[in-house]
Amino acid sequence: MKKICILTGMEEKAKRKRNPKATKKAILKAAFDEMRLHGFQGASLSKILARTGVTKGALFHHYDNKLNLGYAVVDQLIEPLIYDIWMQPLEQSINPIESLQNILRTSVQRMSNHADIGGAKSLLLGCPLNQLAQEMAPLDKGFKDRVNRIYYHWQREISKSLLQGQRNQQVQLTLDVENTAMFIVSSISGAMAMGKRTQSLPQCLEVLHGCSEHLAQYLEQLRA
Amino acid sequence: MKKICILTGMEEKAKRKRNPKATKKAILKAAFDEMRLHGFQGASLSKILARTGVTKGALFHHYDNKLNLGYAVVDQLIEPLIYDIWMQPLEQSINPIESLQNILRTSVQRMSNHADIGGAKSLLLGCPLNQLAQEMAPLDKGFKDRVNRIYYHWQREISKSLLQGQRNQQVQLTLDVENTAMFIVSSISGAMAMGKRTQSLPQCLEVLHGCSEHLAQYLEQLRA
Amino acid sequence: MKKICILTGMEEKAKRKRNPKATKKAILKAAFDEMRLHGFQGASLSKILARTGVTKGALFHHYDNKLNLGYAVVDQLIEPLIYDIWMQPLEQSINPIESLQNILRTSVQRMSNHADIGGAKSLLLGCPLNQLAQEMAPLDKGFKDRVNRIYYHWQREISKSLLQGQRNQQVQLTLDVENTAMFIVSSISGAMAMGKRTQSLPQCLEVLHGCSEHLAQYLEQLRA
Amino acid sequence: MKKICILTGMEEKAKRKRNPKATKKAILKAAFDEMRLHGFQGASLSKILARTGVTKGALFHHYDNKLNLGYAVVDQLIEPLIYDIWMQPLEQSINPIESLQNILRTSVQRMSNHADIGGAKSLLLGCPLNQLAQEMAPLDKGFKDRVNRIYYHWQREISKSLLQGQRNQQVQLTLDVENTAMFIVSSISGAMAMGKRTQSLPQCLEVLHGCSEHLAQYLEQLRA
DNA sequence: ACAATCGGGACCTCCCGTTTCT
DNA sequence: AGAAACGGGAGGTCCCGATTGT
């Protein structure tokens, strides 16, 4: 029945017509970009729509309101992003310390591959998880719970890995692995924040490399 | 049109008496509080006015616009605050490493003394400098320059102190003092961010103490 | 939150039924009226809304901002209005001089038919095109270009007509038709301005008739 | 008593200190400029103050409110200005027609001598009297009465002159001198309005010269 | 005479969300 | 599923003027 309406200008229609999955993804991506640039509160639905060409009707069809859209960004974009960069490389690790050092050394490069957002280098926008955490955790429980859950996973992956390292006699047995994982995540977050605040790519890279190196040396001393 | 209302409540009058200095300070403080809770963009001038009882006319008289008010908050409140907590205690230092460790150990306590803001513990609102940096550095050059200047001073105080320690043979001579200062500031910032994101005082304290301890131990290894 | 109020006044509904075309026209008309009374700068969007019963959301939907609303008033209301009164009657002219004289003699009557605006006689508000030109031409290029385009058309219609009259040996061949058209439009504009400034209907009519008569006599002398 | 405060930075103080006449004049001139650029309603007291360096206290000391300031502009600046350009040259006239023609021919030059206002050529801002008349006559009786009084004087000077010309047998006896004076003033006003609307100095001059010439020729035909 | 402080309102912009229609 | 119309409200800016202080 629906497809009877044959009079479809092809490209136009092909793009615009009924592609719910793609539409939803497009909105999500645009929302993510807007939020990276202006924060959640500063993100404007109108600009998100302008980025996508989608209309307000479509947006509110897929997401009940701005808040849920924000939640979806965390769940479907930010969490996987954090996982890919920081957690996944740790899973098939043989030596946790060396893996962590390796992750640190390559993360800057891997993050640099992320596409620019609104003409700004992704690196200069800092860690999307931390950005949201700092802005929204005190204001909204939904965001707070989500970001804390992700941080919890992140720290747990590291502590699990360190624990395994202790079992394999690669890591000092006296080490409080959970506390250490927390420190590692904290320092990474701090480094990205310091990089972001410079708003200058060379300075940012300098900060990130400098801090990475310091952290890597710190890890070196945790060996058994 | 004249308001003959002779029945003057004293408090009313006491408040309304011309007191430009106090008015300006009150606006500034209210603005600071609002910004800590909602960020700069989310801060509402109306709410700032409501906090102070000052009217729009007065605010507009003392600060040209929201942006300049924000700048004043950085210059007149945040910078001294950072200075008092992190820089000033370093100045009469005898041994830089011990001073830094001492600062770390006492900073949580000192920051806890800060008055609550809108019913929220100041600690759970994180570092005001980092908050502003993360939100506004990419959006406004005025904020970017201000926060970067403060961070620069902060790092320089630490590196100066470490350099003096090298001269006194208290600190390893091979140490890159500037890079190390950067790492210290970065880690402190990261720790406060992680504490904030929990939005729970006990967890926050746990994070801060844990990270402080780690950083203190790291510093221990920098001794000559 | 739901407004269950079942007692629907019919009129309410009749008004509130979606009718974008009508809504847009209503806004435009109200804007025109406000602008005639208070000028463009003095026109208040709130008052325009009050005139129509339309809400801010609807207005913002149909017109991006006040400026574009103003432009639309020029393009869609003022230009046709000028055309109907001054240009259209010239098109099927047989003798340009007689046509112009005729237009002058009847224009006052035709303009008097325009509905009052905010309780004020339309005539006492002068020429809407000149009003806007005088206020906005120095302030905004968009308005300047629009009003100048209309004046250009107006003068061209007259000069075309005079030229045709020269071909038909009804108008002096030595006449500079463009210059003359300019003088005619200029004098008409001046007359309406003088009428408006009196803010008294009888005086205004006296001015308009007096000037019309003078101009008609002047035209008489342009005959071949 | 007052002059005891000897510690006066000379230039600074000399300028700022107590010169009521000069202050009042400065405010008036700045108000005139602002009103020429933005109209009376659009004129901002703040900008007027900025133009002069005077403070609000001084302004409201000399003028009760914005309206009275506007009235003063009309009475003390615009009226003399109109008088100088259009009326005064008529007084010692020997032949009214030739005088009027002469005034027309020289007025553009004389008006061009007026200083620029806010970077805009005075000519491109049109006739200040007509500007105010068109904007404010329908809105405020005070303005309406003032501008009408000036126009009345202007027309009367011309009609008096023409009447004298009739007595001297220089002007047609059948002429309705008052009506004619009205037409002359009206055409002058129209010409300046058309010049202004172009917002281009060459075009404006073309309009003014063209219309002047037409009006001069018209006057030629009024000779006895 | 002039300066600084303060009062509060009006304005346009912009925003998020609802409702109706295709 | 998507598009368009519409509802209100809040936000920052700016403004005129009143008040108080030299």
Taking 80 as the threshold, does the pLDDT of residue B216 lie above it? yes
Q: What's this model's pTM, rounded to 2 decimal places?
A: 0.91
- Split at pLDDT 50, 70, 90, the class of B169 is very high
Q: Which residues of B68-104 are buried (b: 16+ CB within 10 A; e: fewer)?
A: ebbbbbbeebbbebbbebbbebbeebebbbbbbbebb
CB B13 within 8 A of CB B7: no
Taking 60 as the threshold, does the pLDDT of residue D98 lie above it? yes
Distance from CA of C17 to the nearest CA of D (A): 36
Q: How far apart, in whole angstroms, are the C-alpha atoms of residue B96 and residue B219? A: 10
Residue keyed to tokens 């002069």: D52
pLDDT given at position B191: 98
- The residues of C between 49 and 78 with beta carbon within 7 Å of nucleic strand F are 54-58, 60-62
CB D77 within 8 A of CB D38: no
Interval C181-195: pLDDT, tens: 999 999 999 999 999
Q: How far apart, in whole angstroms, are the C-alpha atoms of residue C136 and residue B80? A: 49
CB D38 within 8 A of CB C39: no
Please name which of C107, B155, C199, C55 lies closest in space to residue A198, comparing C-alpha atoms. B155
Q: How far apart, in whole angstroms, are the C-alpha atoms of residue D150 and residue A1? A: 77
Q: How far apart, in whole angstroms, are the C-alpha atoms of residue C154 and residue C185? A: 8
Q: Which residues contact D15 (CB under 8 A, 6 or more apart)?
A: none
Averaged confidence pLDDT in chain C: 91
Q: Which residues of A91-104 are buried (b: 16+ CB within 10 A; e: fewer)?
A: eebebbbbbbbebb
Interval A125-137: pLDDT, tens: 999 999 999 999 9
Interval D143-183: pLDDT, tens: 999 999 999 999 999 999 999 999 999 999 999 999 999 99
Interval C56-106: pLDDT, tens: 999 999 999 999 999 999 999 999 999 999 999 999 899 999 999 999 999
Taking 50 as the threshold, does the pLDDT of residue D28 lie above it? yes
- Split at pLDDT 50, 70, 90, the class of B7 is very low
Taking 60 as the threshold, does the pLDDT of residue B19 lie above it? yes
Note which residues in 18-47 of chain B have CB less than 8 A from chain A: 37-39, 41-42
Taking 90 as the threshold, does the pLDDT of residue B105 lie above it? yes
Please state whether strand F lies within 7 Å of residue B47 at its CB atom: yes
CB B193 within 8 A of CB A130: yes
CB contact under 8 A, C38 and D39: no
pLDDT given at position A69: 97
> Would residue A119 be called left, alpha or beta, if left means φ above 0 and alpha means ψ between -120 and 50 degrees?
left
pLDDT given at position C11: 40
CB C190 within 8 A of CB D188: yes
Distance D48 CA to E4 C1' (A): 18
Report yes or no: B217 at the A interface, CB cutoff 8 Å. no
> Would residue B119 be called left, alpha or beta, if left means φ above 0 and alpha means ψ between -120 and 50 degrees?
left
Answer with the residue of higher pLDDT: C16 or B6: C16
Residue C218 with chain D: CB contacts under 8 Å: 218
Which tokens hold the place of C8?
């629907």
Give residue C215's Cα distance to chain centre.
21
CB D139 within 8 A of CB C199: no
pLDDT given at position B92: 87
Which tokens hold the place of D178?
């008052």
Q: Which residues contact A69 (CB under 8 A, 6 or more apart)?
A: A27, A28, A31, A59, A63
pLDDT given at position D19: 80
Taking 60 as the threshold, does the pLDDT of residue B22 lie above it? yes
Taking 90 as the threshold, does the pLDDT of residue C34 lie above it? yes
Point out the nucleotide closest to C34 (alpha carbon to C1′): E11
Separation of first and last alpha carbons in chain C = 78
Reduced to 3 states (helix: H, G, I; strand: E, B; else coil), residue B223 is strand
pLDDT given at position D170: 97
Give residue D18's Cα distance to chain centre.
29
The string of DSSP codes covering chain D is -GGG-----HHHHHHHSS-HHHHHHHHHHHHHHHHHHHHHHH--HHHHHHHHT--HHHHHHHSSSHHHHHHHIIIIIIHHHHIIIIIHHHHT-SSHHHHHHHHHHHHHHHHHTSPPBTTB-GGGG--HHHHHHHHHTTT-HHHHHHHHHHHHHHHHHHHHHHHHHHHTTSB-TT--HHHHHHHHHHHHHHHHHHHHHH--HHHHHHHHHHHHHHHHHHHHTTB-
pLDDT given at position C92: 87
CB contact under 8 A, C42 and D37: no
Q: How far apart, in whole angstroms, are the C-alpha atoms of residue A86 and residue A84? A: 6
Q: Which residues contact C165 (CB under 8 A, 6 or more apart)?
A: C95, C96, C97, C171, C224
Please name which of B121, B137, B108, B104 lies closest in space to residue B198, comparing C-alpha atoms. B121
Give residue C156's Cα distance to chain centre.
17
Query: φ and ψ at B199, to 5 degrees?
Result: 55, 35
Looking at residue A25, what DSSP letter applies? H
By C-alpha distance, the chain B residue nearest A186 is: B190
Distances (CA, A) of A172 to A175, A200, A217, A222, B1: 6, 39, 15, 6, 81
Which tokens hold the place of A85?
């960069």
pLDDT given at position D4: 31
Q: Which residues contact B48 (CB under 8 A, 6 or more apart)?
A: B27, B30, B31, B34, B59
Taking 70 as the threshold, does the pLDDT of residue C16 lie above it? no
Per-residue HEC secondary structure of chain C comes to CCCCCCCCCHHHHHHHCCCHHHHHHHHHHHHHHHHHHHHHHHCCHHHHHHHHCCCHHHHHHHCCCHHHHHHHHHHHHHHHHHHHHHHHHHHCCCCHHHHHHHHHHHHHHHHHCCCCECCECHHHHCCHHHHHHHHHCCCCHHHHHHHHHHHHHHHHHHHHHHHHHHHCCCECCCCCHHHHHHHHHHHHHHHHHHHHHHCCHHHHHHHHHHHHHHHHHHHHCCEC
Report yes or no: A124 at the B interface, CB cutoff 8 Å. yes
Looking at residue B13, what DSSP letter applies? H
**Which ranges of chain A have pLDDT less than 70?**
1-18
pLDDT given at position D114: 92
- The residues of A between 17 and 56 with beta carbon within 7 Å of nucleic strand F are 17-20, 23-24, 54-56
Which tokens hold the place of D106?
């020289």
Report yes or no: C131 at the D interface, CB cutoff 8 Å. yes
Give residue C192's Cα distance to chain centre.
11
Q: Which residues contact A138 (CB under 8 A, 6 or more apart)?
A: A144, B37, B120, B124, B125, B196, B199
CB C163 within 8 A of CB C132: no
CB contact under 8 A, A196 and B126: no
Query: Could you count the other beta carbons within 10 Å of the beta carbon of residue B142?
Result: 14
pLDDT given at position B2: 30
pLDDT given at position C83: 97
Distances (CA, A) of B205 to B105, B136, B191, B224, C124: 12, 27, 10, 31, 75
Please state whether strand F lies within 7 Å of residue B60 at its CB atom: yes
- B117: which strand partners? B120
Rg (CA), chain A: 21
CB C162 within 8 A of CB C180: yes
Residue keyed to tokens 């240009």: C87
Which tokens hold the place of D68?
């009275």
Taking 70 as the threshold, does the pLDDT of residue B208 lie above it? yes
Reduced to 3 states (helix: H, G, I; strand: E, B; else coil), residue A95 is coil
Point out the nucleotide closest to D20 (alpha carbon to C1′): E1
Please name which of A73, A190, A192 lies closest in space to residue A124, comparing C-alpha atoms. A192
Q: What is the pLDDT averaged over residues D62-83?
A: 97
Reduced to 3 states (helix: H, G, I; strand: E, B; else coil), residue B5 is coil
Which tokens hold the place of C166?
């020269």
Chains B and A touch (3+ CB pairs under 8 A): yes
Let me know if D188 is exposed, middle or buried by CB neighbors in 10 A (0-12, 13-18, 19+): buried
CB contact under 8 A, B182 and A193: no
